[in-house]
Amino acid sequence: MAQHFDAYPYTSGPSSASRERLAWAILLTAFAIFCLLAVGIPLTIRWYIHNATRPQLATLTGTLGTTLVIAPSVPSPFAVAEGVRRPDVREGNRIETDAASSAVVRLFDESSITVFPNSELTIERMRSPRFRRSPLPNEIVLRVARGTVRVNVAPPGTRPLRLIVHTPHATVRLLEEGSYSLEVANNMTQVSVRAGKAEVTGAVGPTILLPAGRRSQIPLGEEASAPLPVAQNLIVNGDFRTAISAAPITQGPLAEGWVVYNDQGGDGGTVDGTAEIVVDEGRRAVRFYRTGSQNNHGETGIRQALNKYIGDYETLKLRLDVKLKYQSLSGGGQLNSEFPLMVRINYKDVYGNDNHWVRGFYYQNDAGFFVNETGQRIPRDTWFPVEIPDLKAQLRDPLIITSVQIYASGWDYESLVSEVGLIAE
């Protein structure tokens, strides 16, 4: 009987060796996954415990006028009136004050921020670690777009603090407990350290370490200046070295920062005085001169606009050197208001009212007019140094120095002024 053979050869299943290799592959893969999970899950949990944070809240209290709080997710701002507390200030909130408002923000770690008038502050980040075991510090990141803020960093608690302030010109890291002031203008940021220590970095250049009692100026697009003394002169060109016109003028720019003006005061006078930069006894000065007045009132002076908020300064000192050469009107006149040289500080008080402080100088009072503490008698034809160390205490609730005037007032006069300073610290 013939044998039948299939057309295709018989093919057996996987060999025992192949099955063994597959089993080992599955086993090793499972073991590897087990190891990854055994190591990865604890590491992931550990990473999360170390790095997880939660946002915190701050409390804003209006201290003057009405402060606005702008939240990105809310269509209209919140208004916080003077004396009102708002305990729900969050990350991303922007705080704005106008010329008649200010506020204090108390942060979750007991640090605080004073937001002065005409300022804008954004709280970009305000977080603490979610778990106690985390080694991370508390973190606060602020942005000051304009104006003046003072940051008081609280004493260290159980967890360190990382506090950074950004401005259009600089990045400032506040390193320790203390008090810090930041003034942001269009072209410059100024950082002052009252107490503590800060690192300041400009758009270019190295990072500057600022100790207590020092300040740094950071112009737009430039590097931070080396540490400077905290005390600063608010007057521009107080030594009159940057002259615009050397000839006697009756109206208009005299030197950088200064403008000449004349005022007859409605007394029927028609004679203006002149002001010019001169060199007298080796010093550069401004000379005020008027003659031919026919005993009619006139005022010749120089004025500098400041619009400088002074609420953050502890002291304000006025200094200038004056010299009187001639006065035809005795003392300060019948109303004690016309002296051959006067200095006037114009300011707004905390209530928004315009106010001023004035001091006059004279060398003769032959007519015996009444002179009160506004006037001060000094020697004739002698350079006399004037210093008012407690000027801020003499002003009534000052908020903003709007301008400074130095002028001669009366009939005929000749007087000089030099080395003008309004020193703030």
Tens-place pLDDT, residues 264-293: 876 666 899 999 999 988 888 999 999 999
Q: Which residue has the tokens 């600089």?
A: 170
CATH number 2.60.120.430 given to 252-424: yes
Say whether pLDDT at 204 is over 60. Answer: yes
Say whether pLDDT at 35 is over 90. Answer: no
Give domain limits for the chain: 53-229, 252-424
- Pairing label, strands 138-153, 161-166: parallel
Say whether pLDDT at 46 is over 70. Answer: no
* Fold matches, 53-229 and 252-424: yes
pLDDT band at 224 (very low <50, low <70, confident <90, very high): very high
For residues 102 and 64, the answer to whether their CB atoms sit within 8 Å is yes
Q: What confidence tens digit (pLDDT) does each residue in 348-371 have? A: 998 889 999 999 999 999 999 999
- Which segments of 52-104 does DSSP mark as H helices, in order? none
Closest CA to 119 of 100, 91, 138: 100
For residues 59 and 85, the answer to whether their CB atoms sit within 8 Å is yes
Say whether pLDDT at 384 is over 50. Answer: yes
Q: Which residue has the tokens 């073991």?
A: 31
Cα–Cα distance for residue pair 96/93, rounded to 1 Å: 10
Predicted pLDDT at 132:
80
Tell me which H or E stretch contains 34: helix 16-51
Any idea which of 14-18, 212-216, 299-303, 336-340 has the lowest mean pLDDT?
A: 14-18
For residues 264 and 296, the answer to whether their CB atoms sit within 8 Å is yes
pLDDT band at 1 (very low <50, low <70, confident <90, very high): very low
Cα–Cα distance for residue pair 232/363, rounded to 1 Å: 31
Structure token digits, residue 382: 């002698």
Domain 53-229: give its CATH architecture.
Sandwich (2.60)
- Beta-sheet strands, E only, within 133-273: 138-153, 161-166, 171-174, 178-184, 188-195, 197-201, 207-211, 214-219, 228-229, 232-233, 252-255, 258-263
Predicted pLDDT at 14:
61
Strand partners, 172: 165, 200
pLDDT band at 335 (very low <50, low <70, confident <90, very high): very high
3-state DSSP helix/strand/coil percent for the chain, to nearest 5?
Answer: 10, 50, 40
Closest CA to 277 of 265, 290, 293, 260: 260
pLDDT band at 5 (very low <50, low <70, confident <90, very high): very low
Q: Which one-letter amino acid corresponds to residue 236?
A: V
Cα–Cα distance for residue pair 174/85, rounded to 1 Å: 26
Instruction: Give the predicted TM-score (pTM) of the model.
Output: 0.74
